[in-house]
Amino acid sequence: MKVLIKGGRVIDPLNNLDKVCDILIEDSRISKAAFDIKNSADKIIEAQDKIVMPGLIDMHVHLREPGREDKETVCSGTKAALKGGVTTLLAMPNTHPAIDSLENVELLKGIIHKTAKANVFMVATITKGRKGEELTDIAGLKKRGAIAISDDGNSVDDESLMLEAFKKAKENNLLVICHCEDKLLSANGVVNLGFTSTRMGLRGISKESEYKRVERDIKLAEKVDASVHIAHVSCQESLEIIVQAKKKGVKVTCETAPHYFALSEEDVLGYDTNKKMNPPLRGKDDIEAINKALKNGVIDTIASDHAPHTENEKDIEFERAEFGVIGLETELAVAITELVNTGRLDWTGLVKKMSLNPAKILGINKGNLSIGSDADIVVINPDKEWIVEKQNLISKSKNSAFLGRKLKGVVEYTICSGKIVYKL
């Protein structure tokens, strides 16, 4: 099978490429990138005025399988990913059962093998049952295919246990992804602590509950020279800590999610539970700091934190509703609309954040269009506008924070391992 993508603007930061050219795919790999390739391909994609970039790599996705197939499955979630231009994703381990044992890794691996439509890498838990009490068999989990460990949704409170986890991760060359939250400090809060929590009459989540834990986890990682990735950074103070650590040479990377730069705490004032997530939407200063950190590189990557929940779990009283929003189908368009069209990032910058950098963090040979690389490619119409509507979302859950919002940028083709797996 040969696919030829003709005449698109090809963005490939690893190869310093931003120019109009053709790309030829043979079987599952990129075989040629040049101006006006003459070749009898099986399929020709006319990409004039389109952006051609490596497929997105999303480091933070909840596929909910096994256990909560009513919210999402590996199959439905990866289909949604492809529609959003995501060809590779990390599945978070807070499933039922959690991915905390060799058996459960094998279980998930089997489901992925049978049903995944995109590349799925598995994250295993740090502690058994994500309870923060006893470490998992980190070496074994790595051998069975885990690419990182995380108790996502929880932070390991016990400092010495967490240090031990970093040591084991280091020995096994595994990345530790940290959900940074001191639950004693976030104290059952549901929105940003401050004027927002006060005027809404709700319990607040302080920024301190996040950045104190960012500080601790970086300190522990530094002690044993382990690699740490801070998930869903939402506030200025966390970024300041990360900047200092990076300057010192600590192996720290971090992500933010689209809602943290595209929405603010004011969006939650109507008690819309699709604006309820953890960490919560923050204030104007934090949004400014996040935008700045995206620009200057302190934030390495944008991840969706795709967190599907059923309507039964969302259409209830605000404080009782589940935390989290879906994002696979909207993250690229939100980033184009809020970052590229506003001039905060150029296309090269966007591709770094959403494809090249996560590939580097994970140490996988993706996120580029080099000859011989896996042919994971997205073709985007960057000017087409669309409105996010429930009926157009293909994820099993519809809890998007961007419902009703007009966005710019539509994925026209997604190619995964050389096959056209999504077409508008």
Residues at the site binding other proteins, with contacts judged by CB under 8 A: 193-195, 197-202, 204, 270-271, 312, 315-320
Which one is catalytic: 100, 151, 217, 305?
Answer: 305
- CA–CA separation, 412 vs 424, rounded Å? 5
Q: In this complex, which beta carbon is closest to other proteins, that of residue 36 or of residue 317? A: 317
For strands 175-178 and 228-230, give the pairing: parallel
Least Å from the CB of residue 191 to other proteins: 10
Least Å from the CB of residue 262 to other proteins: 22
Active site (annotated) includes residue 305:
yes
Q: Which long-range contacts (CB under 8 A, 24 or more apart) does 313-321 make?
A: 314/273, 314/274, 314/399, 315/273, 316/273, 318/190, 318/202, 318/271, 318/273, 318/276, 319/190, 319/202, 319/203, 321/273, 321/276
Least Å from the CB of residue 404 to other proteins: 13
Answer yes or no: are the C-beta atoms of 119 and 180 closer than 8 Å: no
Least Å from the CB of residue 272 to other proteins: 9
Q: In this complex, which beta carbon is closest to other proteins, that of residue 190 or of residue 326? A: 190
Q: In this complex, which beta carbon is closest to other proteins, that of residue 273 or of residue 381? A: 273
- Secondary structure of residue 77 in the 3-state scheme: helix
Q: In this complex, which beta carbon is closest to other proteins, that of residue 205 or of residue 218? A: 205
The CA–CA distances, whole Å, from 334 to 126, 281, 407 equal: 32, 16, 6
Answer yes or no: are the C-beta atoms of 204 and 193 closer than 8 Å: yes
Q: In this complex, which beta carbon is closest to other proteins, that of residue 38 or of residue 320? A: 320
Answer yes or no: are the C-beta atoms of 395 and 329 closer than 8 Å: yes
Q: In this complex, which beta carbon is closest to other proteins, that of residue 198 or of residue 342? A: 198
Q: Which two tokens stand for residue 224?
A: 């044993």
Q: From the centroid of its chain, how far is CA 289?
A: 19
- Name the one residue in this structure whose structure tokens are 């934090």: 286
The CA–CA distances, whole Å, from 223 to 87, 167, 370 equal: 35, 9, 36
Least Å from the CB of residue 313 to other proteins: 11
Residue 160 phi, psi (nearest 5): -70, -35
Q: DSSP E strands: which ranges in 189-337?
A: 191-192, 204-205, 228-230, 252-256, 301-302
- CA–CA separation, 70 vs 41, rounded Å? 41
Least Å from the CB of residue 67 to other proteins: 22
Q: Which residues are catalytic, by number?
A: 305
